[in-house]
């Protein structure tokens, strides 16, 4: 079970990384295109090489149309793609100032309670994304510039959030086993050995 959950979490994180890399590349190209467009419209370019400037502008050199919308939609999906791996490796930020004095057994039970709260929040997020997706699908709402259906990013985020919720439920089961057995299966901030 752990290998399946870990494999799915890693695959989703890789997909999120690819989306994030594509967004970074798109943003860089858009910035370069915007600056080139400004340069090609400048008096200097128009006086030195008006034909080249006109040709490049005619080819569409400029910012990528809808780059802000694509970044907005893609970032949400990428974030949801990274959550399962963070959840299964116990990579969330934590402050243990008030819990460091507790016994190992008490800390395991506390981790179980925290995983239960995390899992409930992840299930709630997935559910609300499904509701939002259904509403956007029914209304036919689209983005302003690209006119992409809004339900598409909701569906992508819902799929990633559903995987995260499943991993959260799995982690509740792992933390319950740890609390009952008295030994760690997945250490804080690391991957477990199964």
Q: What is the pLDDT of residues 122-177, one digit of tens each?
A: 999 999 999 999 999 999 999 999 999 999 999 999 999 999 999 999 999 999 99
Residue 11: count other Cβ atoms within 10 Å of its Cβ: 14
Which pLDDT value is given to residue 170? 96
Q: At what angle do helices 67-88 and 2-40 cross, to 10 degrees?
A: 160
Please count the CA atoms within 13 angstroms of the CA of 112 that sit on its side-chain side.
Answer: 19
Which pLDDT value is given to residue 192? 43
Question: For residue 40, what are its two tokens?
Answer: 């090609």
Residues in the chain: 194
Helix-strand-coil percent breakdown of the chain, rounded to 5?
75, 0, 25
pLDDT along the chain (194 residues), means of 10: 92 97 96 94 90 88 93 94 92 74 88 94 97 94 92 95 96 94 76 43
Under a CB-based contact definition with an 8 Å cutoff, are residues 152 and 129 in contact? Answer: no
Domain-wise residue ranges, the chain: 2-181
């Amino acid at each position: 079970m752990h290998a399946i959950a870990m494999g799915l979490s890693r695959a989703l994180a890789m997909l999120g990384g690819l989306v994030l890399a594509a967004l970074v590349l798109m943003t860089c190209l858009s910035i370069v295109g915007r600056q080139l467009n400004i340069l090609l419209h400048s008096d200097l370019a128009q006086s030195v090489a008006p034909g080249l400037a006109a040709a490049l502008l005619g080819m569409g050199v400029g910012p990528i149309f809808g780059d802000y919308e694509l970044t907005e939609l893609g970032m949400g999906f990428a974030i949801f793609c990274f959550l399962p791996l963070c959840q299964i490796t116990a990579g969330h930020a934590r402050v243990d100032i008030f819990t460091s004095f507790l016994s190992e057994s008490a800390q395991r039970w506390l981790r179980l309670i925290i995983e239960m709260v995390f899992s409930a929040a992840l299930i709630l997020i997935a559910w609300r994304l499904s509701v939002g997706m259904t509403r956007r699908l029914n209304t036919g709402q689209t983005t302003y510039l690209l006119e992409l259906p809004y339900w598409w990013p909701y569906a992508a985020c819902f799929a990633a959030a559903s995987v995260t919720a499943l991993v959260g439920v799995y982690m509740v089961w792992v933390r319950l086993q740890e609390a009952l057995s008295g030994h760690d299966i997945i250490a804080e901030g690391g991957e477990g050995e199964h």
